[in-house]
Amino acid sequence: MTTDSQIIREIKDGNTEAYAILVRRYERRIYAFIFHMLKSKGIESMTEDLCQETFYKVYRHIKSFRDVEATFSTWIYTIARNTVLSELRKSKNSDVPIEDSNTVPNVSIDRLPENELIKNEKIDKVREAINLLPDKQRFVLILREYEQMDYREIATLTDTSVSSVKSLLFRARNNVKDYLHSYMSEHDQSDRKRSKTHEM
């Protein structure tokens, strides 16, 4: 498979059509990345616009990209992150509606078997737990677990050290576990109360 560096070299040599290959290679990942950043703020409806803006910026500045300084994937994620942060700063000074970020799949409840209901409920709670994390913890967790980035890439993106990334990840994972443990404890207590009520 042609590497990112080879494609970028072609673009710099005048083959602008090669840019479409990079877009196809990264569009789903960048879309998902931006969606996760926006979801906790309740403005995920802006994902497509910011995704397009990211790729426009990448195209405009691709001739200045130097792969000796960073990998293309790190570079494009940095642009995506900065694009989102810029929009979030603007949103603080505007009347962007904050919607419920804990959306659930559009599936009829009574068509789902009980175990599938429980599975979907747990997935939704994991998302909810991630959305409640402090910004830095949520960001590194998404990059590591969803984008499968290594520690060095995350450190470059967040402008921190590898040890700081590991520390943030440790705290993020513990916070998610604590949230889910609390939820499951409440869930079990509720089940026991219902069971006792039925027995009476």
- Tens of pLDDT, residue by residue over 48-82, are 999 999 999 999 999 888 876 678 888 999 899 89
| Closest CA relative to residue 36, chosen from 100, 130, 151, 177 | 130
**Angle formed by the axes of helices 72-92 and 151-158, nearest 10°:** 40
* CATH no. for 103-200: 1.10.10.10
Give the pLDDT of residue 58.
95
How remote is the C-alpha of 68 from its chain's centroid?
27
Name residue 8's amino acid: I
Name residue 157's amino acid: L
Q: Is 123 helix (H, G, I), strand (E, B) or coil?
A: helix
Give the pLDDT of residue 180.
85
Distance CA 200, CA 198 (A): 6
Q: Are 132 and 179 in contact (CB under 8 A)?
A: yes
Distance CA 185, CA 200 (A): 23
Instruction: Count Cβ atoms below 10 Å from residue 122 Cβ, excluding itself.
Output: 14
- Tens of pLDDT, residue by residue over 111-147, are 334 444 455 567 777 778 887 888 888 888 888 887 7
- Tens of pLDDT, residue by residue over 25-47, are 999 989 988 888 887 777 889 99
Please work out, in degrees rounded to the nearest 5, the angle formed at the alpha carbon of residue 38 by the alpha carbons of 60 and 118: 135
* Confidence at 164, pLDDT banded by 50, 70, 90: very high
Q: What is the pTM of this model?
A: 0.64
Tokens of 76: 């494009």
Name the residue with higher pLDDT: 9 or 68. 9
* Confidence at 161, pLDDT banded by 50, 70, 90: very high
Name residue 29's amino acid: R
Name residue 11's amino acid: I
Overall average pLDDT of the 170-195 stretch: 75
1-101 belongs to which CATH class? mainly alpha
Please report, for residues 18, 36, 101, 130, 138, the alpha-carbon distance to residue 127 in angstroms, rounded to integers and kept in the order given. Answer: 36, 10, 9, 5, 11
Overall average pLDDT of the 9-27 stretch: 93
Judged against a pLDDT cut of 90, whether residue 15 lies above it is answered with yes
* Confidence at 189, pLDDT banded by 50, 70, 90: low
Give the pLDDT of residue 193.
57
Give the pLDDT of residue 190.
56
Give the pLDDT of residue 10.
93
Domain ranges across the chain: 1-101, 103-200
- Tens of pLDDT, residue by residue over 74-108, are 899 989 989 998 988 887 654 443 333 333 223 33
Where residue 111 falls (left for φ over 0; alpha for ψ -120 to 50; beta otherwise) is alpha
